[in-house]
Amino acid sequence: MSIVTKRDLNQRTADVLAKVAELGEVIVTERGEPRWRVSSYRGEDDALGRAERQGRYTAPVPRPVPWPEVVGGPRYEPEEFDALLEEMKGDH
């Protein structure tokens, strides 16, 4: 995403629109504050496409990380477990 000033948009419209075509979206600022978003037209999209464009949805990856073969974390001996449990209890 790129940021341009309102003055740049006014005086160099063709350059800014070329940047929009290249990047897909440009933020326009006024007095240093973001005020407008200029984006390229992609045709009518459905609700899911709109949510993705607005950053409210992320499409799933084509090859997700597989589940681990062995479930769980570190293995503790009974004495270690008892010691950890006593430590967690503390002086509450």
In the three-class reduction of DSSP (H, G, I as helix; E, B as strand; rest coil), residue 30 is classed as: strand
Domain assignment present for 58: no
How confident is the model at residue 91, as a pLDDT? 67
Domain assignment present for 22: yes
How confident is the model at residue 26, as a pLDDT? 93
Beta bridge partners of 36: 28
CATH number at residue 5: 3.40.1620.10
Range of the domain at 13: 1-41
Using 50, 70 and 90 to split pLDDT, how confident is the model at 14? very high
Give the span between the Cα atoms of 68 and 62, in whole angstroms: 18
Domain assignment present for 4: yes
For residues 6 and 35, the answer to whether their CB atoms sit within 8 Å is: yes
Q: Which residue has the tokens 């001996």?
A: 77
Domain count of the fold of the chain: 1
Question: Among residues 46, 35, 41, which one has the least CA distance to residue 17?
Answer: 41
Domain assignment present for 9: yes
Average pLDDT over residues 29-33: 94
Q: What is the pLDDT of residues 57-72, one digit of tens each?
A: 988 888 888 887 877 8
Max avg pLDDT among 13-17, 41-45, 53-57: 13-17
